[in-house]
Amino acid sequence: MNVLLITPETYHPSSKVEADVCIIGSGAGGSIAAAKIVKKGYSVVILEKGPYVNQSDFTQRQKEIVPRLYEGSGAQATDDLSMAILQGSVYGGSTTVNWMTSLATPDYVLDQWVNQFKLNEYDLGSMQRHSKEVSERLKVHRVDELSHNPQNLMLLKGSEKLGFHAYTSYNNSVNCIGCGHCGLGCTYNAKQDMRLTYLQDALSQGIEIFTSTKASKIKYKSSSKQVIHAVMTLENDRFITFEVHTEKTIVSASAIATPLLLQKSKLTAGGTVGKHLQLHPVSGVFGIFEDKMYPTSGIPQSVVVDEYLNMDGNGYGFWLETPDLEPFLAGAYYPGMGIERREELKQLNNMGVIITLVRDGANGKSTVSNGEVKWRRGFNLQNGSFSLGLVPSIRYKISKPDLRHLLKGLEVSVKIALASGAKRVLTVHNQKTDIRNTVDAKIVHSLPSGPNQLGMFSAHPTGTSRMGMDTKSSVVDQTCEMHNYPGVFVMDGSIVPTAPGVNPMITILSMVSRAIEIGEW
């Protein structure tokens, strides 16, 4: 097979493409799968819905680049609009736009997977070995403590002052200059995302990658024969269709798009495809400082506060980080409205933001699904829309224990910001808060915090095609092969059986690497 990266500009029309393996998606799971499988002698084709991008495309001009990089131009959300879900829809997937945080799956999470889901192949020893391998490939290292920007120093010093455990984090970069625009793609090719690592490895071994190409349906014929219906988008809303004939199919389209594709393809036996959506719900606080904080500059998330990660002793809780505060995100989440809000946002350089990320699932029942992705039609009670045809639907309800953890995280964040010198701290509740002393931090627990009463978002959807040994409560086995459809695999965040409790890139890479090792490839 020729080495080809095929874009709409270079595509030569063909009604049929053939390969041993077709991978749908070029994010973390699909990229490492391609790199490892092609080495075993298989011919591989990747279909990536998003556009091809390279270093020159990352202009840092948000108006033009955000729609190219993000699903739904960054506006993807749950049906009730209470939770925005940020996902990359681009060559390299979300790794192209993530904030580089590279953390291994916690030990107690792996223990839970072994004990609760019988995933003995994913014990601590096995996952540590694969985590080490992928971390080396991505040049993961602890951030130099001299590189902390003012926002991260605020989080670190404030936590130390209050006695909360905090540490300098790890990321996947080489010669990072700390421009602070990771979420817009790395202008300097410092971030070692999939484009520069596993996709490059796969291309060097001889694969085809079709970009701007969506897999619309999988026609399952047998364990050794599937046909993928593909649609490539051209300029001026034109498109062309073709088929990929393959012996094995790997769906790596994300925890949102993967279940939608499987459902559309009627690959849903077992009844759990699309259920058990976990999101790592996120909210935050804005600290207002006398000194300049420059939250849009510097390495994001170089400090992690994990004091409450195992809050109730059952492996659930929250952790704190600081964001890559692009103006398009600040504009979406800063509280208030009108002229007053506009004037306050002009002081963005004097703000320091702390985000709380919750390991959701603390209600403790693996059979309970707090979120679901599926196709729906008709009247949608959550947003008032009506559709005669089937449309994608994302529904999620944060559990009471998880909401309690989130609010505790906001309380702790307020205290840290004030301990670091903030004049006042604002939460992102609809009911505007202006907290100026630590005694008042507990007010967050009494504020209305239901859907659309507290600003929340997610960048870590997982679990909608989860791995497990029980065919009734999971979708794939330990090799990532679907229980009821041999020859079709899922290799992305969908397979993660519970929320991992850390930024999930290394978890996804390690799980897929392990699955290929133990599978019959």
Indicate the domain borders of the chain. Answer: 145-177+279-363+399-458
DSSP type of residue 366: T
CA distance 87 to 71: 6
Other Cβ atoms within 10 Å of 3 Cβ, number: 12
The residues, ordered by sequence, that sit 6+ positions from 273 with a Cβ below 8 Å of its Cβ are 259, 262, 263, 267, 464, 465, 475
> What local confidence, expressed as pLDDT, does residue 3 receive?
43
> What local confidence, expressed as pLDDT, does residue 365 receive?
62
> Taking the mean position of all CA atoms in its chain, how far away is CA 344?
30
> What local confidence, expressed as pLDDT, does residue 152 receive?
97
Paired strand residues for 4: 208
> Taking the mean position of all CA atoms in its chain, how far away is CA 482?
22
> What local confidence, expressed as pLDDT, does residue 235 receive?
84
Question: What's the pLDDT tens digit per position in 372-400?
Answer: 999 998 878 777 788 888 999 999 999 99
Mention the CATH class of domain 145-177+279-363+399-458: alpha beta
The residues, ordered by sequence, that sit 6+ positions from 311 with a Cβ below 8 Å of its Cβ are 317, 318, 405, 408
> What local confidence, expressed as pLDDT, does residue 11 receive?
83
> What local confidence, expressed as pLDDT, does residue 367 receive?
58
CA distance 373 to 366: 17
Name residue 219's amino acid.
K
- What residue ranges of the chain have pLDDT lower than 50? 1, 3
pTM for the model: 0.96
Name residue 179's amino acid.
C
Structure tokens at 167: 């540490």
CA distance 458 to 5: 31
* Residues shown for the chain: 521
